[in-house]
Amino acid sequence: MPTVTVREALNQALDEEMARDRRVFIIGEEVGHYNGPYKVTQGLLAKYGEDRVLDTPIAEEGFAGIGIGAALVGLRPVVEFMTWNFSLVALDQIVNNAAKIRYMSGGQFELPIVFRGPQGAGGALAAQHSQIFENYYAYVPGLKVVAGGTAKDMKGLLKAAIRDDDPVIFLESEKMYNLSGEIPEGEYLIPIGKADVKKEGTDLTLIAWGLTLTYALQAAHEMEKEKISVEVVDPRTLRPLDLSTILASVAKTHRVLIVQEAWPIASFGEHIAYLIQKEAFDELDAPVEILSSEDVPMPYAFPLEELVLPNVAKIQAHIRHMLS
């Protein structure tokens, strides 16, 4: 199988879907003539023209609203936020319009739109540009929330999201774009709402998604040297959540550590922990634990950013503590 970066995988997904369906178009800041702030849309303007790759002013509420209107009349827009931090400006459009139109119209309107872009730490981008938004949007009925963690998954999930008839929040990470992985040859889709067991294990279940999946897998493989067998489960999509795959792993290992880049309070990891104790309490040999970022605004300095975020060493220490 070919090896590509996450950036290239996302670009392939956009290219293939634009070639397949003329209703698909991209709109956002610097997506066209600059080839995208993170080069995810590189080459698409030259291939598809300005009618389908639209550069916008710095006006998230405006171009999010344009995308919603376009979806209502039958197009399939992909709205790129330069960072999900900027989506706060468009929160009214996403939450009060995109998420609710299908329900409030009694199903008369579909809203096939994807909102995508990077969230989380990007490397010395400081507090206003380093936040996690998965819990903001997973909270809202009417939105689907996708947070893949590998090149293969990101390509297949983005293609599925573009074909979906509901609004999809597609979460990426600036630190993931250069990560590489194998992808299948030819076209493939990964269904929204299906988790994946990335590594089999017997002693503890490690649940991680997005960027933290990379750290979780590294930690799990390192623990093998200590004869500790860790199973790694990647939800891939947070709403809808594939709880059955998670519970099957819990029944197998009886211990759970959730790793997330989000702050600890009111996080999506806490929601998963609640569901596990509600549905599989008798399977647990120890309380569910959560490793989050530190509960502080993100510092600017690189060394301080590393102190705030989860990492391989922190995951290993948590695993040792839970099995001690």
Query: For residue 240, is the peptide bond before it cis, meaning its omega torsion is within 30 degrees of 0?
Result: yes
Burial class, 5, CB count within 10 angstroms (exposed 0-12 / middle 13-18 / buried 19+): middle
pLDDT for res 213:
98
Contact 236, 194 (CB under 8 A): yes
Q: Which two tokens stand for residue 30?
A: 């610097």
pLDDT for res 218:
98
What is the rounded CA–CA span in Å between residue 60 and residue 312? 35
Cα 72 to the chain's mean position, in Å?
25
Taking only the tens place, the pLDDT of each residue in 84-121 is 999 999 999 999 999 999 999 999 999 999 999 999 99
Domain extents in the chain: 3-182, 196-323
What is the rounded CA–CA span in Å between residue 143 and residue 99? 5
As a whole number, mean pLDDT of residues 288-294 equals 98
Q: Which two tokens stand for residue 136?
A: 């903001």
What is the rounded CA–CA span in Å between residue 260 and residue 323? 20
Mean pLDDT over each residue of the chain, to the nearest integer: 97
Contact 103, 142 (CB under 8 A): yes
- φ, ψ at 275 (rounded to 5°): -65, -40
Active site residue 261: no
> Do 3-182 and 196-323 show the same overall fold?
yes
Find the catalytic residue in 60, 174, 261, 283: 60
Strands 230-234 and 289-291: unpaired
Active site residue 60: yes
What is the rounded CA–CA span in Å between residue 294 and residue 130? 13
Pick the CATH number of 3-182 from 3.40.50.970, 3.20.20.10, 3.10.20.740, 3.40.50.300: 3.40.50.970
Q: Which two tokens stand for residue 221?
A: 């493989």
pLDDT for res 61:
97
As a whole number, mean pLDDT of residues 258-267 equals 98
Q: Does domain 196-323 have CATH number 1.10.1740.10?
A: no
Report CA Rg, the chain. 19
pLDDT for res 141:
98
Find the catalytic residue in 17, 29, 129, 172: 129
Taking only the tens place, the pLDDT of each residue in 1-39 is 899 999 999 999 999 999 999 999 999 999 999 999 999
Q: Return all residues near 128 (Cβ < 8 A) that are at least 6 apart.
A: 85
Taking only the tens place, the pLDDT of each residue in 202-223 is 999 999 999 999 999 999 999 9
As a whole number, mean pLDDT of residues 217-234 equals 98
As a whole number, mean pLDDT of residues 177-204 equals 97
What is the rounded CA–CA span in Å between residue 255 and residue 193? 23
Q: What is residue 198's three-state secondary structure?
A: strand
pLDDT for res 302:
93
Contacts of 34-42 spanning 24+ positions with Cβ under 8 A:
36/80, 37/82, 38/7, 38/118, 38/174, 38/177, 39/7, 39/11, 39/177, 40/7, 40/10, 40/11, 40/14, 40/80, 40/172, 40/177, 41/11, 41/14, 41/80, 42/11
| Rounded percentage of the chain residues whose pLDDT exceeds 90 | 99
Instruction: Assign residue 139 a region (left: φ > 0; alpha: ψ between -120 and 50; beta: otherwise).
Output: alpha
